[in-house]
Chains A and B, each alone.
Chain A
């Protein structure tokens, strides 16, 4: 009863970046992105996630979804490390424009400027935008 990743070699490793630009609730994008990342983590690619624009709110500490009757899935971002998804990039400008700082985020991230993040995007093989 072996799993696919136990049988196959590593193959070609590509750089995948998941770009998150939307607030966590109100649309399904944030949750869908997170689920795709968790599923795709099994394929042992070089995965990173970027948080820009309202997407930075996805990582905001202290989310309380009781009022909107939705599940608060923000604790799941803390599980990413266990899935070997450790590269989380947050755009500095997006944080600053919203009055947020790194201390407001619920997981360790790398904050980087818009230009540096654009360069990083250039290096990717695959970009998935949510």
Chain B
């Protein structure tokens, strides 16, 4: 299902993940969130930007367990836990945040 942001249309796969991650821009993340009925605040962006950096470095989207641990290392234990991340991304922190970040679905997610 293609998604529109800033007057342009972008291809996604059948689950809404961006087809070409080079297409990504912040407006697109905001549009994807809006389609899910969510508004992105700075805490969401912190995770989204973290995921983009992780992908840039390792070329994969991390599993939720790995994301949680890595967030804890970088942003502190009050953010590196499932409760905090599930509150931000109720559809699953890895799955939903990766989608907004323009990444593929995390390896191992079904």
Contacts and interface: CB of A to CB of B under 8 A. Distances in A.
Nearest to B68: A3
Interface stretch (A78-86, A97-105, A122-130): A78-86
Given A1-B92, A82-B70, A42 B59 contact: no
B59 A73 contact: yes
Nearest to A41: B63
B51 to A, nearest CB: 13
B65 A79 contact: no
A47 to B, nearest CB: 14
Contacts of A35: 107
Interface in A67-91: 71-73, 75-76, 78-79, 82-83
A21 B93 CA distance: 35
A104 to B, nearest CB: 20
Contacts of B59: 71-73, 75-76
B81 to A, nearest CB: 12
A38 interface: yes
Given A79-B60, A79-B66, 12 more contacts: A1-B86, A38-B108, A39-B63, A39-B108, A42-B108, A72-B59, A73-B59, A73-B60, A76-B59, A79-B62, A82-B69, A83-B66
B57 interface: yes
B71 to A, nearest CB: 11
A8 B108 CA distance: 18
Contact of A42 (B63, B70, B92): B63
